[in-house]
Amino acid sequence: MKVLRFVLAVTLFAGSCLVARAGYLRAKAEAASVLIHRAWEQTIRTGVGQPPWPWADTHPAARLRIPRIGYDEIVLEGASPRILAFGPARLLSSALPGEPGNLAVAGHRTSWFRRLEDVRTGDDIEVEWFDARSHQVRNRTYEVDGIHIVNPTDVELLAPTPDDALTLITCYPFGKSPGSPKRYVVRAVPSGLNAASR
């Protein structure tokens, strides 16, 4: 009987610890989201990249919207594992928002880019950023022209391009499966005949 009580107490304690940890992580994620959105608002107001918290090694670089699926997230600067925990992030080797070339953004398949599985060819993707040269907020609308499932070693779609492009990349398959042996890549080009910023 004492052994059963002990096992029950240990099980309840362990379960309570797991529930508390999950609650803490959720609260931390919610607080981070609020701080990132505030930093984005400051960035577009002041024109200076604002870190979301004093010790952050990133700042908001752009806002990414996919209207058809209701997607709206802030893109952080520098796609390291630590930064990707807080949101989608621009690959440092890619073009800056509004600059000529291939703007590449990575995100986790279980969170930030889970909604990419709902994206279809022809969908609009809107990118908003602060243009330091003109001191204005700029927007560019891209149109999805291809969805690819590739091996992790196939980085051709992430390579610099002479033409403007937007590339979104995440692991595949989507969800919480233990493995993600492939990469899911959404490629988009500026919509309309004029690729200039709007």
In a domain, 19, yes or no: yes
In a domain, 197, yes or no: no
Determine contact, residues 54/73, Cβ cutoff 8 Å.
no
Rounded to an integer, the average pLDDT of 48-67 is: 92
pLDDT band at 103 (very low <50, low <70, confident <90, very high): very high
CATH code of the domain covering residue 99: 2.40.260.10
* pLDDT score of 58 more than 80: yes
Asked if the structure places residue 91 within a domain, the reply is: yes
Q: Which residues does 189 contact at the CB level (< 8 Å), separation at least 6?
A: 142, 143, 145, 163, 164, 165, 166, 195
Q: Identify whether 176 is part of a domain.
A: yes
The reply to whether 116 falls in a domain is yes
Per-residue CA distances from 95 to 10, 47, 50, 136 (Å): 53, 19, 20, 19
Task: Indicate if the pLDDT at residue 62 is higher than 70.
Answer: yes
- The pLDDT-based confidence of 7 (bands split at 50, 70, 90) is low
Domain that holds residue 180: 2-190
pLDDT per residue over 145-155, tens digit each? 999 999 999 98
Does a structural domain hold residue 198? no
* Mean pLDDT (the chain, rounded): 86
136 or 196: which carries more pLDDT confidence? 136
Residue 195 resides in a domain: no
Banded model confidence at residue 74, pLDDT cuts 50, 70, 90: very high
Please determine, for residue 89, whether its predicted confidence score (pLDDT) is greater than 90.
yes
Q: Per residue in 14-48, pLDDT tens?
A: 666 666 665 655 665 677 788 888 998 988 888 88
Residue 178, pLDDT score: 80
For the chain, what is the domain count?
Answer: 1
Average pLDDT value for residue range 169-179: 86
User: In 106-136, which positions are buried (b, 16+ CB within 10 angstroms) versus exposed (e)?
Assistant: bbbbebbbbbbeebeeebebbbbbbeeeeee
